[in-house]
Amino acid sequence: GAVVSQHPSRVICKSGTSVKIECRSLDFQATTMFWYRQFPKQSLMLMATSNEGSKATYEQGVEKDKFLINHASLTLSTLTVTSAHPEDSSFYICAAGAGEQFFGPGTRLTVL
């Protein structure tokens, strides 16, 4: 099956700093990528849909100025958490593909 990678797998940062998470489709091109957030022992919540070459579509309640998404190429989407706060600590998972979504391994963000 298709492979999606995320980098970093784990990051710890200080409150107020910005963190960038990369999502790459390794063996296929993806015009559409998705960013999910998962709290401990909870389900995945879609944050935004990332479209190559155009603006991301954010779900209701997700601050677009806080969670910046860039999908500059057909194999890379980035999520930047700006001015991170402890409540942003979570597991962030990306997925690539439109008809069938292939999920990355996730990035655990801890904001101190």
Partner 1 sequence: GEDVEQSLFLSVREGDSSVINCTYTDSSSTYLYWYKQEPGAGLQLLTYIFSNMDMKQDQRLTVLLNKKDKHLSLRIADTQTGDSAIYFCAERMDSSYKLIFGSGTRLLVRP
- Judged by the rule CB under 8 A, the positions of this chain that interact with partner 1 are 1, 4, 6, 32, 34, 41-46, 49, 93, 95, 98-106, 108
Residue with Cβ nearer partner 1 (11 or 82): 11
26 vs 41: CA distance, rounded Å? 29
Which uninterrupted H or E stretch holds 68?
strand 67-73
Residue with Cβ nearer partner 1 (14 or 41): 41
22 vs 26: CA distance, rounded Å? 12
Q: Report which DSSP code applies to 38.
A: E
Residue with Cβ nearer partner 1 (62 or 82): 62
